[in-house]
Structure 1
């Protein structure tokens, strides 16, 4: 395998983990704020704490995928779904 091609795939996964994980870490808590039937102050606290777990899971998930394309698509679609749900209910 070409070393340049392999390096670009690794860089793509790293960027997907950083940017896509960041997007997921913000989209999921916002969605949960809209959907949770608990007081707003508690929902903010729980969602903020949960965002760290979501970010970690997104990073692990990116490197577990067979291809970087699947990782990018998975993060984009799931972030979009969470964002749309949050927008719909807020």
Structure 2
């Protein structure tokens, strides 16, 4: 019984950490991606992507606590962050940076 409670505590701690750190990372990735690829003037892209990051972070927090396993949550958050950040920071030849 004590082992089950310990596993439950680690599961909750992992999800809280995923919601805080992982949500921030995904929100940053979305902000960087949108700041590069939106077809607007630079100030408008930055403002829109910054405002959208709050909605993204909220959606990630909801997903983290609704998902079945914490492992899936971490894999999705890390994968999504890596893909978005690579897509945002790789086009160096366009001289565009978020």
| TM-score (normalised: structure 1) | 0.95
Q: Where does 1:20-39 land on structure 2 (aligned, <5 Å)? A: 20-39=22-41
- Give the distance between the partners of 1:21 and 1:6, measured in 2 at CA: 21
- Give the distance between the partners of 1:10 and 1:4, measured in 2 at CA: 10
CA RMSD of aligned residues (A): 1.0
The runs of 4+ residues in structure 1 deviating greater than 4 Å are: none
| TM-score (normalised: structure 2) | 0.88
Number of aligned residue pairs: give it. Answer: 90
Q: Specify every segment of 5 or more residues in structure 1 that has no aligned partner in the other structure, as ranges.
A: none
Q: Specify every segment of 5 or more residues in structure 2 that has no aligned partner in the other structure, as ranges.
A: none
